[in-house]
Amino acid sequence: MATTSEVKAGLDSIASLIAGSQQLEDRAIAGLLAARNQLAAIPTQFSDVLDTIDAYTPTGPFQEVTQDEKGKLATEFVALKTAIEDKLDDLGVPY
């Protein structure tokens, strides 16, 4: 059986661990929001690059490679953005 001082110390430790866990959750949510916002900005931030690639007529290897790379990045972008937004939705966090 714990003494009263051990009980108080244990409760203080529990409270500290809970507070630390809450801070970790807050940072995790902030990180998810930051990642989502970074991804959401890509189409606007890189609109000139993306529009240029979209206008390419595959006349050589450079155009083909950039169109392929853009396609792969688009797939990765959509998957990651969707996964992050799903996590935020699960947590009830608006974005």
What CA–CA distance (Å, rounded) separates 45 from 38?
10
92: left (phi over 0), alpha (psi -120 to 50) or beta: left
3-state helix, strand, coil in the chain (%, to 5): 85, 0, 15
- Is the pTM for the entire model greater than 0.75? yes
Please tell me the predicted confidence (pLDDT) of residue 64. Answer: 93
- Using one digit for the tens of pLDDT, what is the confidence trace for 26-64? 999 999 999 999 999 999 999 999 999 999 988 899 999
For 66-94, write each residue's pLDDT tens digit. 999 999 999 999 999 999 999 999 999 99
What was the pLDDT predicted at 68? Answer: 96
Residue extents of the structural domains in the chain: 4-91
Please tell me the predicted confidence (pLDDT) of residue 58: 82
* Residue 40 vs residues 18, 35, 47, 93: alpha-carbon distances, Å: 33, 9, 12, 16
